[in-house]
Amino acid sequence: MLDDPAALRAVDRSDMLHVLASLPEQVRQSAQAGARLQPRNRGPFKAVLFAAMGGSAMGADVAADWLARRAPLPCAVTREYDAPAWAGAGTLVVAVSYSGNTEETLACARAAKQRGAHVLAVTSGGELATWAEATGGDVVRVPAGLQPRAALGHLAFATLGALEAMGVGTVAKDAEGVAAHLERLRAQLGPESKEAQNPSKQLARALHRKVAFVYGAGPLAVAARRFATQVNENAKDLAHWGPIPEVHHNELSAWFADPRFRDLAVPVVLQGEAAGTPLGARERATVALMKEAGGKPWVLEAKGDTALARTFHAIYVGDYASLYLAVLLGRDPTPVDAIVKLKQRMAEFRRG
Ligand code: PA5
The rounded Å distance from CA 38 to ligand 1 centre is 27
CA distance from start to end of the chain:
48
What mean pLDDT comes out for the span 269-289?
A: 96
- Please state the atom number of ligand 1 nearest to the C-alpha of residue 55: 7
Question: Judging by beta carbons within 10 Å of its beta carbon (0-12, 13-18, 19+), is residue 176 exposed, middle or buried?
Answer: middle
In 3D space, the residue among 74, 315, 332 whose CA is nearest the CA of residue 200 turns out to be: 315
Pocket lining: 126 vs ligand 1, CB cutoff 6 Å: no
Peptide bond before residue 191 is cis, with ω within 30 degrees of 0: no
Question: Is residue 341 flagged as an active site residue?
Answer: no
Mutation test residue for ligand 1: of 339, 344, 345, 346, the one with most atoms within 8 Å of CB? 339
**Is 296 a known active-site residue?**
no
CB 307, CB 69: distance < 8 Å = yes
Q: Catalytic residue among 104, 164, 233, 273, which? A: 233
> What is the pLDDT at residue 259?
81
d(CA 209, CA 82): 38
Q: Are 31 and 200 in contact (CB under 8 A)?
A: no
Decide: 105 in ligand 1 pocket, CB within 6 A: yes
Which residue, judged by its Cα, is nearest atom 5 of ligand 1? 54
Q: Quick one: what percent of the chain has pLDDT higher than 90?
A: 91
pLDDT at 325 over 90: yes
Average pLDDT of span 95-118:
98
Atom of ligand 1 nearest to the CA of 149: 1
Instruction: Out of 78-87, 173-182, 260-269, pick the least confident.
Output: 260-269
pLDDT band at 172 (very low <50, low <70, confident <90, very high): confident
Q: Is any atom of ligand 1 closer than 6 Å to the C-beta of 123?
A: no
Residue 233 falls in the annotated catalytic set: yes
Asked whether the predicted pLDDT for residue 85 surpasses 90, the reply is: yes
Roughly what angle, to the nearest 10 degrees, separates helices 152-165 and 172-189? 170
Ligand 1 mean position to 104 CA, how many Å?
A: 11
For residue 126, give the ligand 1 atom closest to its CA. 14
Average pLDDT over residues 158-165: 96
Average pLDDT, the chain: 96
- The answer to whether residues 340 and 233 touch, using CB atoms and an 8 Å cutoff, is no
**Which pLDDT band holds residue 200 (cuts at 50, 70, 90)?**
very high
* Length of the chain counted residue by residue: 352
Average pLDDT over residues 193-218: 97
pLDDT in the model for residue 301: 97
**Closest of 25, 289, 335 to residue 175, by C-alpha:** 25
pLDDT band at 352 (very low <50, low <70, confident <90, very high): confident
Q: Is the pLDDT of residue 262 over 90?
A: no
SS3 content of the chain, % helix, strand, coil (to 5): 55, 15, 30
Query: String of b and e for 59-92 (b: at least 16 CB within 10 Å)?
Result: bbbbbbbbbeebbebebbbbbeeebeeebbeebb
Contacts of 174-178 spanning 24+ positions with Cβ under 8 A: 174/66, 174/306, 174/308, 174/309, 175/27, 175/28, 175/31, 176/28, 176/31, 177/304, 177/305, 177/306, 177/308, 177/309, 178/24, 178/27, 178/304, 178/306, 178/308, 178/309, 178/312
Ligand 1 atom at minimum distance from 233 CA: 1
Which pTM value belongs to this model?
0.97
